[in-house]
Amino acid sequence: MKPKPFRVALSASFKSAEGTLTYPSFDLSPLTSAENIEMFFLPPGDPVAAQDLEEADALILLSERFTADSIPASGRLGVVARFGVGYDSVDVDACTASDIAVCITPDGVRRPVAVSILTLMLALTGKLLIKDRLTRSGPEGFNARSNHMGVGLAGLTLGSVGLGNIGAEMFRVSQPLDMHYIAFDPYANPDTAAELGVTLVDIESVFNQSDVLAINCPLTDDTHHLVNATRLADMKSTAYLINTARGPIVDQAALTDALKTGQLAGAGLDVFETEPPDAADQLLALDNVIVTPHALCWTDQCFAGIGASDVVSVLDVCAGRIPTGLVNSAVAEREGFRRKLSGYPGVT
């Protein structure tokens, strides 16, 4: 008797209004070419509705939320593969309790996000947007260029809150800049830090010693507003803050005040406390901040890599293996999850 197909759901935001893939570089052919895998798109809804997943074995999740109420009663769902590395939109504890693996795609975003941080650092210290504006304003602006001298990076200190996947890659790609490197991360691997030439410091030191400070940690209860008015006041007035992680890690009101008063030289933000930000937000009117719409790392290569990682995780589960990119490692030891794995058909 032929085993029932392994059914993979994709959240509705993967499909455009015209019915095409939102991101064409997301190669779904390893799923569509497998004989025993069926793929379907969910109807629009946020959070994802449980009734739409009753017959699903796997879910690839883009922008929608997956809450405890999203878990189908059938008990069939085995993996939620998040399209990216952030998983604050997924109730991980509820998934673990229901024997559902939660996976992310660190390999797909490592280099693109690190390059995004480097892009913001170079643009801020080089006064790129200011000089662009001067040039567009004609001779008067062009002749004012001496008033907007950039900042050389050699010998300055690049700091990071976090030395995980992206934080480590940031230091790798910045090696030719001849900066000093420091990081705060209570979970950092000392061998990784040593290999990268990064000095591990306490949280106070990473704020008061960094000339450029990048936020590279996940959003958790402990990191919410980790960057607050007190810590911003500890930073050098010549320093720059870069956040490509999650907006609520930074107290945005406190950051706005620091930028307005000159307590901080500038900031580069790809993420915000509220997304999208209000057009009237005072932060957006400041000329010492560069803002991008939580999409600076979005390139064809980035999305191809993210998609490929998600597909690998889904195929792992279909084949009865512990999936790549697993967030909730405790689920791997649960009898219910292992029973699900043993019941999947394998990849043909």
Residue 234 pLDDT: 97
In a domain, 320, yes or no: yes
Instruction: Provide the whole-model pTM.
Output: 0.86
Q: Which of 7, 76, 82, 246 is catalytic?
A: 246
Catalytic site residue 133?
Answer: no
Backbone torsion region of residue 157, taken as left when φ is above 0, otherwise alpha when ψ lies between -120 and 50, otherwise beta: beta
Q: How far is CA 330 from CA 96, 97, 102, 334, in A?
A: 7, 10, 11, 7
Of 135, 131, 70, the closest CA to residue 100 belongs to: 70
Query: How wide is the angle at C-alpha 178 spanned by C-alphas 302 and 171, nearest 5°?
Result: 35
What is the per-residue pLDDT for 86? 85
Q: Are residues 141 and 265 in the same domain?
A: yes
Report the half-sphere exposure of 118 (CA within 13 A, side-chain side): 19
Angle at 314 between CA 311 and CA 317, to 5 degrees: 150
**Could you tell me if residue 174 is inside a domain?**
yes
Q: Is 80 helix (H, G, I), strand (E, B) or coil?
A: strand
Concerning whether 246 is annotated as a catalytic residue, the answer is: yes
Q: Are residues 259 and 127 in the same domain?
A: yes
pLDDT at position 66 is 98
Rounded CA separation 54/264 (Å): 51
Q: How would you class 321 by CB atoms within 10 Å of its CB: exposed for 0-12, middle for 13-18, buried for 19 or more?
A: middle
Q: Which of 267, 291, 315 is the last residue of a domain?
A: 291
| Largest separation between any pair of C-alpha atoms in the chain | 80
Verify that 162 and 210 share a domain, yes or no: yes
Classify residue 1: in a domain, yes or no: no
In this structure, the answer to whether residues 23 and 134 fall within a common structural domain is no
What are the pLDDT digits (tens) for 88-97? 899 999 999 9
pLDDT at 19: 85
CATH number at residue 68: 3.40.50.720
Catalytic residue, from 18, 275, 338, 339: name it.
275
Please identify which of the residues 76, 82, 110, 294 carries the catalytic annotation: 294
- In whole angstroms, what is the distance from residue 91 CA to residue 141 CA? 51
Quick check: 270 and 120 in contact, CB under 8 A? yes
Asked if 100 and 331 count as a contact pair (C-beta separation under 8 A), the reply is: yes
* 142 and 246 assigned to the same domain: yes
Which pLDDT value is given to residue 18? 87
Euclidean distance between CA atoms 345 and 340, whole angstroms: 10
Same domain, residue pair 285 and 304: no
Of 264, 291, 318, at which residue does a domain stop?
A: 291
**Structural domain count of the chain:** 2
Residues 96 and 114 in one domain: no
Ranges of residues in the chain with a pLDDT under 50 are: none
pLDDT 10s digits, 12-41 = 999 988 888 999 999 999 999 998 999 999
- The pLDDT score that the predictor gives to residue 39 is 95
| 91: containing domain | 6-104+299-343
